[in-house]
């Protein structure tokens, strides 16, 4: 499965951006799609996930209430709507995917075997 991410850019604090990720290839109803981010000098961090095609969506505490994940199973796409952005949200954002991710591992980047190319989000203060 190949993932293609789009969106990102420069925005002022308090602004909004939308990222999208499209999966091509063989996916199934067990395909989980997630977002991670990595700021300079920091480890890759879980942002949120659409677990399988179940409709269950989970977020990191740091983005809960500000970010929204939506998924279109007919198009194999997942989007990340980011509102009320803060300078600390500045990072390269990655979409990730894998089949058969169990719930206990959804926040672990090691659970995913397909990654998009990363898109830079910069939030200025």
pLDDT digits (tens, 9 = 90+) for 64-115: 999 999 999 889 999 999 999 999 999 999 999 999 899 999 999 999 999 9
Q: Which pLDDT score, from 0 to 100, does residue 54 have?
A: 79
Structure tokens at 62: 């740091």
pLDDT tens column, 30-73:
899 999 999 999 999 999 999 987 779 999 999 999 999 999 98
> Are 56 and 63 within 8 A, CB to CB?
no
How much is the pLDDT for 29?
78
What pLDDT does 55 receive?
Answer: 77
To 10 degrees, the CA torsion angle through 125, 12, 65, 47?
Answer: -80
Structure tokens at 46: 């879980």
Closest Cα partner for 107 from 71, 74, 62? 62
Residue (of 83, 77, 102, 78) closest to 14 by Cα position: 83
CA distances from 76 to 20, 21, 36, 50, 113 (A): 11, 8, 18, 12, 16
Does the pLDDT value for residue 122 go beyond 90? yes
Q: What pairs with residue 13 in β-bridges? A: none
């Amino acid at each position: 499965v190949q993932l293609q991410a789009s969106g990102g850019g420069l925005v002022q604090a308090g602004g909004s951006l939308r990222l999208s990720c499209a999966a091509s290839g063989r996916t199934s109803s067990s395909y989980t799609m997630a977002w991670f981010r990595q700021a300079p000098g920091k480890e890759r961090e879980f942002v949120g996930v659409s677990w399988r095609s179940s409709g269950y969506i989970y977020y990191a505490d740091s983005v809960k209430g500000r970010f929204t994940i939506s998924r279109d199973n007919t198009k194999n796409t997942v989007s990340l709507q980011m509102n009320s952005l803060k300078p600390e949200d500045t990072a390269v954002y990655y979409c990730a995917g894998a089949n058969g991710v169990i719930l206990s591992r959804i926040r672990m980047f090691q659970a995913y075997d397909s990654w998009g190319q990363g898109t830079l989000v910069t939030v200025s203060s």
